[in-house]
């Protein structure tokens, strides 16, 4: 771990403003223009080379010399020691170790399989709106944004939805940069123990769910998945499968209610609109971490072997050279090349599922409740500035 740089290294830019909490730290505008490769200090204590332009971020995420080994968003977690990743931690593995796990999972996230979930997603979306419409107000995070993707990932994994309160609480702890190391470890252990119990059940009595198919698929290879690998994969999918999309649903709704001129574009072309929302909001707000395995040149700057880099995708998605007027939301914009799902070999497996969930949730909500409005202006304190995944703590609405 590189911690030998001068003490005056600036902190990682993560200060949003009351003026527009949907925008990343304004410092990125200057960094892209004047210092596209800059050294910053992360809360975990590691100094990292921050790459803020779109093309440079893509280059970092696709360069095989820049490793994902033990590299994840934990660079924002105080006290993280960058130790060896857990077995099966697909986000933090390289080369064949990563490819082996991805091959076993990719069949679960094909476009065809995800499209087959549309009727189910539509049904649970309508059910939650029906429940909301028994009153005249709601907290859109609690009553809509969080339960829909949670139900979907529970359905896919075979996780009882009745257990959601525990794993949602532990997920929030894991994803907060204010959680100390021991608290994070305890939360991960609770989720892992829970998934481990489900896996033990599926080994004895397989069901029609992702965990059962993953066990069978792994057993059909010459390198079956170990229990430890299955636990890590299951826990990772459970957390990632609901946190990112849940935050996107609520953030997108808040943004759209503040930009009602964009609602027609959403209904006219939901697929295009969702890509722009993914670009504009970029909920992975602290970028993606990599480590140089050899001396490399990044955007003209020398990076030594062993040094850490962060591809600031939240800044790349606001790059003026790629997206004209990037700080304006334009739901007719062709933005599918955004970095919201990452880039390169680790690009998000569940991206098609997220797209479908967002398309259905947003269009149905705003069509069925045309009078939806914010109950009050949102203070900056309601936004998750200290969470790895950006979002809202609550979103009071009425109609």
- Please, which residues have CB within 8 angstroms of residue 385's CB and are 6 or more apart in sequence? 14, 15, 16
Ranking 110-119, 153-162, 270-279, 358-367 by mean pLDDT, the lowest is: 153-162
Give Rg (Cα) of the chain.
Answer: 21
Query: pLDDT tens for residues 60-104?
Result: 999 999 999 877 665 566 555 666 788 999 999 999 999 999 999
The confidence score (pLDDT) of residue 4 equals 42
Give domain status of residue 282, yes or no.
yes
The confidence score (pLDDT) of residue 327 equals 97
The confidence score (pLDDT) of residue 7 equals 56
Give domain status of residue 353, yes or no.
yes
**For 25-48, what is the mean pLDDT?**
92
The confidence score (pLDDT) of residue 128 equals 97
- Please, which residues have CB within 8 angstroms of residue 238's CB and are 6 or more apart in sequence? 153, 157, 159, 167, 171, 191, 195
Q: Return contacts of 130-138, CB within 8 angstroms, 24+ apart.
A: 132/369, 133/368, 133/369, 136/398, 136/399, 137/375, 137/396, 137/397, 137/398, 137/399, 138/396, 138/397, 138/398
User: Does position 3 have pLDDT exceeding 70, yes or no?
Assistant: no
**For 108-115, what is the mean pLDDT?**
96
Tell me the C-alpha distance between 155 and 159, whole Å. 7
Give domain status of residue 18, yes or no.
no
Determine contact, residues 222/137, Cβ cutoff 8 Å.
no
Give domain status of residue 13, yes or no.
no
Count of positions (residues) in the chain:
399
Give domain status of residue 12, yes or no.
no
Phi first, then psi, for residue 397 (nearest 5°) are -130, 165
**For 158-170, what is the mean pLDDT?**
86
User: Does position 189 have pLDDT exceeding 70, yes or no?
Assistant: yes
The confidence score (pLDDT) of residue 1 equals 38
The range of the structural domain enclosing residue 77 comes to 27-398
Give domain status of residue 20, yes or no.
no
**For 365-388, what is the mean pLDDT?**
94
The confidence score (pLDDT) of residue 8 equals 81
Give domain status of residue 350, yes or no.
yes
Q: What is the pTM of this model?
A: 0.93
User: Does position 356 have pLDDT exceeding 50, yes or no?
Assistant: yes
Q: Percent of the chain, pLDDT > 70?
A: 95
Residue listed under structure tokens 């107000």: 137
- The CATH number given to whatever domain includes residue 232 is 1.10.630.10
**Rounded mean pLDDT of the chain?**
92
**For 336-364, what is the mean pLDDT?**
97
Give domain status of residue 136, yes or no.
yes
Residues 322-342: b if buried by 16+ CB within 10 A, e if exposed: bbeebeebbbebebeebbbbb
Query: pLDDT tens for residues 291-342?
Result: 999 999 999 999 999 999 999 999 999 999 999 999 999 999 999 999 999 9
Query: Can you read off the two tokens belonging to residue 203?
Result: 């080994």
Q: How many angstroms separate the Cα of 111 from the Cα of each of 107, 126, 265? A: 9, 23, 24
Considering only CA atoms, which of 148, 141, 192, 205 is closest in space to residue 166? 192
Number of domains in the chain: 1
The confidence score (pLDDT) of residue 70 equals 74
The confidence score (pLDDT) of residue 44 equals 76
Tell me the C-alpha distance between 49 and 40, whole Å. 6
């Amino acid at each position: 771990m590189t911690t030998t740089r001068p003490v005056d290294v600036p902190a990682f830019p993560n200060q949003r403003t009351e003026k527009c909490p949907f925008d990343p730290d304004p410092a990125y505008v200057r960094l892209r223009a004047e210092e596209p490769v800059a050294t910053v200090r992360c809360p975990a204590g590691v100094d990292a080379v921050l790459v803020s332009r779109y093309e440079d971020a893509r280059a970092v995420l696709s360069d095989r010399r820049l490793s994902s080994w033990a590299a994840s968003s934990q660079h924002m977690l105080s006290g993280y020691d960058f130790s060896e990743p857990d077995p099966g931690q697909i986000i933090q593995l390289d080369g064949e170790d990563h490819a082996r796990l991805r091959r076993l999972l990719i069949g679960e996230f094909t476009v065809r399989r995800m499209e087959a979930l549309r009727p189910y997603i539509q049904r649970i979306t309508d059910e939650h709106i029906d429940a909301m419409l028994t009153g005249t107000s709601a907290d859109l995070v609690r009553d809509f944004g969080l339960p829909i993707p949670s139900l979907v990932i529970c359905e896919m994994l075979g996780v009882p939805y009745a257990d959601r309160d525990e794993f949602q609480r532990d997920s929030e702890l894991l994803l907060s940069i204010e959680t100390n190391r021991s608290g994070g470890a305890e939360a991960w252990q609770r989720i892992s123990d829970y998934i481990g119990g489900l896996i033990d059940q599926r080994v004895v009595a397989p069901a029609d769910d992702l965990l059962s198919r993953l066990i069978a698929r792994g057993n059909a290879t010459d390198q079956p998945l170990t229990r430890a690998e299955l636990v890590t994969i299951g826990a990772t999918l459970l957390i990632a499968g609901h946190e990112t999309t849940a935050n996107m649903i609520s953030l997108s709704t808040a943004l759209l209610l503040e930009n009602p001129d964009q609602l027609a574009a959403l209904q006219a072309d939901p697929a295009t609109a969702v890509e722009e929302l993914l670009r504009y909001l970029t909920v992975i707000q602290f970028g993606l971490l990599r480590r140089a395995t050899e001396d490399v040149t990044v955007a003209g700057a020398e990076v030594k072997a062993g040094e850490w880099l962060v591809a600031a995708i939240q800044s790349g998605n606001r790059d003026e050279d790629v997206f004209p007027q990037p700080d304006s939301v334009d739901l007719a914009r062709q933005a599918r090349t955004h970095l919201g799902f990452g880039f390169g070999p680790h690009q998000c497996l569940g991206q098609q599922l997220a797209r479908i969930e967002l398309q259905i949730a947003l269009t149905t909500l705003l069509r069925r409740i045309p009078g939806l409005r914010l109950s009050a202006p949102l203070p900056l304190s309601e936004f998750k500035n200290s969470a790895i995944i950006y979002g809202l703590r609550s979103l009071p609405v009425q109609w």
